[in-house]
Amino acid sequence: MTDMPSSLPTIRLGSQGPVVSAVGLGCMAMTGSYGPRDPGEALHTIHHAIDRGITLIDTADMYGWGTNETLVGQAIRDRRDRVVLASKVGFVPPEGGTDGGRGINGSPAHIGQAIEASLRRLGTDCIDLWYLHRVDPQVPIEDSVGAMADQVRKGHVRHLGLSEVSATTLSRAIKIHPIAAVQSEYSLWSRDPEDGLLDACRDLGTAFVAYGVLSRGALAGTLASAADLAPDDNRRNYPRFAADNLDRNLDIVRQLEAIAGRLGISTAVLAIAWVLDRNRQPASPPIVPLFGASRPARIDDNLAALSVSLTDEDRAAISAAVPPGLVAGARYAPDRMAAIDL
């Protein structure tokens, strides 16, 4: 490891997309997804991230059903020009969905209404990167992306993205409008994008934004057992955090802790560094990891990953500790997995 760089490296999202910091801040958990959060501490954390050079700030209209966008809008009000603001559209409460109860609506009518609400909550006249959060199985992707492209032409959005899509869907969407980035879960625990999606992003000139790089905190070294989860922690709804599965999965974390210890870094830093290291592979698209943080100190800790250079020996040790498919349990409960475009 070396000292922390004075400015963060950058990556361009897509051939025509924005230039962003090499890591981004995901804000979902700041409005209670994993238990109560202090709004003042959340604001302080976002400010600290921006002050440290993180430019990509990621939210969505469904995080807290609008409260997250409101929080982010408040946080960036006096520093909007320093932020590449990303949000998402497509999830709605179950009764508002077109997909048989899963709460997804990618219709042009909904997209047109949702942008107005997001802009109002965010306190801005333009979103820099707007993702379709999930593909609506009742609406052709061409129609959803076409409606989003209308918002680009109106000046309400600068660039488009897709979340949790297949390579086939990406190839269809990009014929309608340039797609700057695809966002999907990708981590030492979740390797699905390696089954063709990363290759498609590379071939089509689209960047890849990885969420869940700390596996919802499991790779941050903050969990010892399922008993550490608060009663209202949404992770209790994820199969990987069910008691039996989590016990097995934390054994994997302990193996990673040993590797991280030999490198003199935390498990969280190792997990982020592993995703960043994908950029050093010759066949990789540009990859930007998003991490969450509950307080400013976490920002500083996680940014240390930018100074980690993994060797071939390190990569081999990590691969031996966490081969693809080893993690117990699915990423989401069955109804949520059904919303993933495979």
pLDDT for the residue numbered 284 = 94
Q: How far is CA 90 from the centre of its chain?
A: 16
Q: What is the DSSP letter of 104?
A: B
Single-letter amino acid code for the residue at 183 = Q
pLDDT for the residue numbered 100 = 58
Strand partners, 24: 56, 290
Residue 340 falls within a domain, yes or no? Answer: no
pLDDT for the residue numbered 223 = 81
- pLDDT by residue for the chain (342 residues), tens only, comes to 334 444 899 999 998 899 999 999 999 999 876 666 788 999 999 999 999 999 999 999 999 999 999 999 999 999 999 999 999 999 998 776 666 556 999 999 999 999 999 999 999 999 999 999 999 999 999 999 999 999 999 999 999 999 999 999 999 999 999 999 999 999 999 999 999 999 999 999 999 999 999 998 899 887 888 888 888 888 888 999 998 899 999 999 999 999 999 999 999 999 999 999 999 988 899 999 999 998 999 999 999 999 999 999 999 999 999 999 899 999 988 888 988 987
Single-letter amino acid code for the residue at 33 = S
Locate 304 and state its tokens. Answer: 């240390």
Residue 229 falls within a domain, yes or no? Answer: no
Residue 132 falls within a domain, yes or no? Answer: yes
Residue 256 falls within a domain, yes or no? Answer: no
Residue 244 falls within a domain, yes or no? Answer: no
Q: How far is CA 241 from the centre of its chain?
A: 19
Q: How far is CA 72 from the centre of its chain?
A: 15
Catalytic, out of 63, 131, 211, 238: 63
Residue 37 falls within a domain, yes or no? Answer: yes
Single-letter amino acid code for the residue at 246 = L
- Give me the helices (H) in the chain, please: 39-51, 67-76, 108-122, 141-153, 167-173, 197-204, 243-263, 267-277, 296-303, 312-321, 334-337
**199 touches 294 (CB < 8 A):** no
CA separation for the pair 271, 294 (Å, rounded): 17
Residue 128 falls within a domain, yes or no? Answer: yes
C-alpha gyration radius of the chain: 19
Q: How many residues does the chain have?
A: 342
CA-closest candidate to residue 41, choices 50, 55, 31, 26? 31
Instruction: Give the number of domains in the chain.
Output: 1
The strand pair at 19-21 and 10-12 is best described as antiparallel
pLDDT for the residue numbered 108 = 98
Residue 185 falls within a domain, yes or no? Answer: yes
CA separation for the pair 124, 209 (Å, rounded): 23
pLDDT for the residue numbered 3 = 41
pLDDT for the residue numbered 6 = 47
Q: Is 63 a catalytic residue?
A: yes
Inter-CA distances, 263 with 5, 249, 250, Å: 19, 22, 20
Single-letter amino acid code for the residue at 242 = A
pLDDT for the residue numbered 189 = 94
CA-closest candidate to residue 330, choices 223, 236, 245? 245
pLDDT for the residue numbered 33 = 65
CATH number at residue 180: 3.20.20.100
pLDDT for the residue numbered 220 = 87
pTM, to two decimals:
0.93
Single-letter amino acid code for the residue at 200 = A
pLDDT for the residue numbered 4 = 43
Inter-CA distances, 173 with 81, 122, 199, 204, Å: 29, 26, 16, 11
Identify the residue whose tokens are 């219709």.
107
| Domain residue limits at 298 | 10-216+275-309
**327 touches 189 (CB < 8 A):** yes
